Amino acid sequence: MFGMLLEGFGAVFTDPLSIIMIFIGTTVGIVFGALPGLTTVAGLSMFLPITYAMSSGTGLSMLTAIYIGGMSGGLISAILLNIPGTPSSIATCFDGSPMAKNGQAGRALGLAVFASLIGTAISLLVMVVLSPTLANLTIKFGPWEYFSVTVFALTLISSLTGKSIVKGLLSALFGMMFATVGLSPIDSAKRFTFGSLQLTSGFNLLAVLVGLYAISEVLSTAGSEQQKAQVREYKMRGLGFTLKDIKGQGINFVRSSLIGLGIGILPGIGGSTSNIIAYSVAKTSSKHPEKFGTGIPDGIIASEASNNASIGGAMIPLLTLGIPGDGATAILLGGFMLHGMQPGPLLFQSNGATVYQIFASMILSMIVMALVMYLGMRVIVKILKVPANILLPLIVVLCAIGAYALNNRVFDMWGLILFGVIGLAMSKAGIPAPPFILGFILESAFETNLRRGLEYSNGNFLEVFTRPISATFLVLAIVSLAATLYKQYKPKKATSEE
Amino acid sequence: MNKANKKELGVGIFFAVLSIFYIAESRNVSTFTPFGNRGLDSQSIPAMIGWLSIALSAILIVSTILKDRKERKGSVEQQEQICDPDQVACIDPPKGAKLQGILQVVPLKLMLSLLFLFFYFLFYQRIGFILSSIFYLLSQSFLLTEKGKRKKWALFIILFSIGVSVLIYFIFTRYFTLFLPRGILG
């Protein structure tokens, strides 16, 4: 494994273009993460077409670099503007902003970058060690195992995202409906094409992703009143903090990173949830919980270590099962497919060298992220002042190139508008988007494996319960649904009793 | 019914109607089972998705109605103590209130942004990437700029739109070997 990783480093360091793209990708990610209203997903959507002409290793290295940079960039606006650049940095505001308000913005930034570095390092280490082992395990999966994993992922994401489980499940089914447009798996029957030749190939995953995340984001920002926030002044010498600041924080670093890693593995809830949970855990297990929220290092470390640790976590199911952990990894899945690679158990066998090149580039991106943040903070802070009226239209133009370049047809661009409007309507109606995306992505695997499983077992569905792995995942799916229903019913009961 | 419940009911009805249409359309899908039907065919999964959606929409609609009834019951009890319906005067809504209401849900900037996007994609291939992008960047940037600051920004936006469109075209077609439509400039 480590020999392959060394070969991956060799591939990265012998290709100057790869190093340049990692640097550009990380910087772009940081800027997108730092700008409130823009997310890592928008950055990935925008830069995906640029990777078309690159080799798969270089292109995917750039995309993963944007992912790492984007997850970290949010801390800048959280500390200097008191506005989280991404949902992953919400908890960073709690202590980062008060610390900056007390005239210690440089210390807050320094600590947050260091915590991001440690969180990313721990999660990447686990990802490198665990992914090949899990891939070896999942290679033995048959149709029933795959079917039950997809059911588990869909029910889990529907229960964990949004406030209502019914709306979460409806969102997943809505996504599955769009995925059934085109030719059916196994027997290639035309479905819901309404006589259109264009619809026969179905909706392109990238058009759906970019429309749902990037275009709807631009439309939503266009429809809202822009608020300008004051960027706080800061001074940062060296790393910005002293050894005294991180003394006794070892457990906080490791615990928060593990929380981020664990949550990142679950589909649909990445850094946006892990930072709040890690912050709460750090507060409840602290000897001085009353100091949280006043600008102490503990809160900043918990939030930033956990959100960055979800990167490695989200990559594990993507690489081993082909199931994305969050919106950004859903775009990465599209990136893998565009470069002719199918994430899943066979990925390590069929494209092992490229996968280890990506691992190596992610480790390099992590170091570049810290260097860019420490050395280039002044420039990034200046970019925070770039107005939305210039930036948003440019994002649309680049996303349109991405959609058009897929098949050189305008049909995929109409998909951007369709899914952009759907994404906007869903957000206004309080319907979570992640289940929709996962439903769209997993429908094919769900249908193919269910049909194959039934054919192998002569139509006997109960066989799914006779296999330990598939039975376990189905039981987990039922438990996650039941637990969410109980959680949603419990507060109502409590209030009605009052 | 309050705003939140109306929204929930709207979501439920939308999904119910969509599911009915989806199930009806799934019956037109051709099936192919040369070795006998031992499992599912190409109609089965869409039908399963459709029926599950109907069931969930029904749950959403019924639970919203029940929730609304419960809330209304509580508010009527409260209202009975503080309000005399005979003394409530009917006041006509102010002029333009309806339009204001629509604009609150779908802001003008959002509608115009969608329109610009529609025309951008419509003319993308016909007049080419460079021209369509210049027009799109110009119109969208002006739309997003505050009214009072448009004059100040005008020159920058014009130069930016032209410069960026030409630059992107050359970078993508020359260095990233992507095909972008030339349109009338070709």
Q: Give the residue among A102, A133, A8, A111 at the shortest CA–CA distance from A61.
A: A8
Chain B 97-156, CB below 8 Å of chain A: which residues? Answer: 105-107, 109-110, 113-114, 117-118, 120-121, 124-125, 129, 133, 136-137, 140-141, 143-145, 153
Tens-digit pLDDT profile for residues A158-185: 776 667 889 989 999 999 999 999 999 8
Strand A190-191 and strand A182-183: the pairing is antiparallel
* A418 shares contact with chain B (CB less than 8 Å): no
The mean pLDDT of A188-207, rounded to a whole number, is: 88
Work out the percent of chain A whose per-residue pLDDT is above 90. Answer: 24
The pLDDT assigned to A21 comes to 93
CB A53 to CB B175 under 8 A? yes
The mean pLDDT of A251-261, rounded to a whole number, is: 91
d(CA B169, CA B157): 18
Torsion of CA A466, A470, A471, A473, to 10 degrees: 180
* A206 shares contact with chain B (CB less than 8 Å): no
Kindly report the average pLDDT of chain A as a whole number. 85
User: What are the residue boundaries of the structural domains of chain B, listed by start?
Assistant: 3-31+42-71, 108-175
ipTM score for this prediction: 0.84
Predicted confidence (pLDDT) at residue B105 exceeds the cutoff of 70: no
d(CA A460, CA B113): 52
d(CA B130, CA B170): 10
Of the two residues B38 and B63, the one the predictor is more confident about is B63
Quickly state the pLDDT bin for B86 (edges 50, 70, 90): low
d(CA A123, CA A325): 14
Please measure the distance between the N-terminal and C-terminal CA atoms of chain B and give it in whole angstroms: 58
Predicted confidence (pLDDT) at residue A224 exceeds the cutoff of 80: no
Residue A55, Cβ neighbours under 10 Å: how many? Answer: 16
* B158 shares contact with chain A (CB less than 8 Å): no
d(CA B169, CA B186): 13
Quickly state the pLDDT bin for B157 (edges 50, 70, 90): very high
Q: Identify the helix (H) or strand (E) that includes residue A200.
A: helix A197-200
* B6 shares contact with chain A (CB less than 8 Å): no
Cβ-in-10-Å burial (0-12, 13-18, 19+) of A340 comes to exposed
Chain A 13-52, CB below 8 Å of chain B: which residues? Answer: 49-50, 52
Q: Identify the helix (H) or strand (E) that includes residue A191.
A: strand A190-191
d(CA A286, CA A279): 10
Tens-digit pLDDT profile for residues A349-375: 888 888 899 999 999 999 999 999 888
CB B145 to CB A451 under 8 A? no
d(CA A355, CA A361): 10
The pLDDT assigned to A399 comes to 83
The mean pLDDT of B113-122, rounded to a whole number, is: 94
The pLDDT assigned to A219 comes to 84
Sign of CA dihedral A159, A160, A163, A167: negative
Predicted confidence (pLDDT) at residue A147 exceeds the cutoff of 70: yes
The one-character DSSP state at A458 is T
Q: Give the residue among A462, A484, A426 at the shortest CA–CA distance from A173.
A: A426
Coil/strand/helix, residue A170: helix
Q: Give the residue among A336, A330, A329 at the shortest CA–CA distance from A127.
A: A329
The pLDDT assigned to A176 comes to 95
Tens-digit pLDDT profile for residues A74-111: 888 888 877 777 778 888 888 888 888 888 888 889 99
Q: Which of B15, B32, B107 sits opposite A223 (nearest CB)?
A: B107
pTM of the model: 0.80
- Is the separation of the CB atoms in A341 and A328 below 8 Å? no
